C-alpha cells in the first residue's frame, strides 16, 4: 500500500497532548489510525442516515399499500 504525505497544523494544546501521550516513533501510525477511525465513523453515520430515510420512505409506501387494500379487507369481512 502506498502512502501520501500530508501536513496538518494542530492547536498547541493538542500538539502537546500528542507529544505527551504518544511516543515519537508511533505518532504517524497513531494519526493514521485516528483519521481512519473518524472517517469510518463519519461514513457509518452517513449510511445510518440513508437507512433511516429509506425506512421512512418504505413506511410511507406500506401505509399507501394498506390504504389501497383496506376496501378489499372490508369486503372480505362483510362477506364472512
Kindly state the percentage of the chain with pLDDT values over 90. Answer: 68
The answer to whether 53 touches 45, Cβ cutoff 8 Å, is no
Please tell me the pTM assigned to this model.
0.60
* Confidence at 4, pLDDT banded by 50, 70, 90: very high
Rounded CA-CA distance 76/70 in Å is 10
Radius of gyration of the chain (CA): 27
Distance CA 13, CA 35 (A): 18
Amino acid at each position: 500500500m502506498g502512502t501520501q504525505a500530508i501536513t496538518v497544523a494542530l492547536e498547541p494544546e493538542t500538539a502537546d497532548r500528542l507529544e505527551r501521550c504518544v511516543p515519537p516513533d508511533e505518532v504517524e501510525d497513531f494519526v493514521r489510525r485516528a483519521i481512519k477511525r473518524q472517517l469510518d465513523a463519519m461514513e457509518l453515520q452517513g449510511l445510518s442516515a440513508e437507512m433511516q430515510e429509506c425506512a421512512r420512505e418504505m413506511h410511507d409506501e406500506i401505509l399507501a399499500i394498506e390504504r389501497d387494500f383496506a376496501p378489499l379487507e372490508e369486503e372480505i369481512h362483510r362477506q364472512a
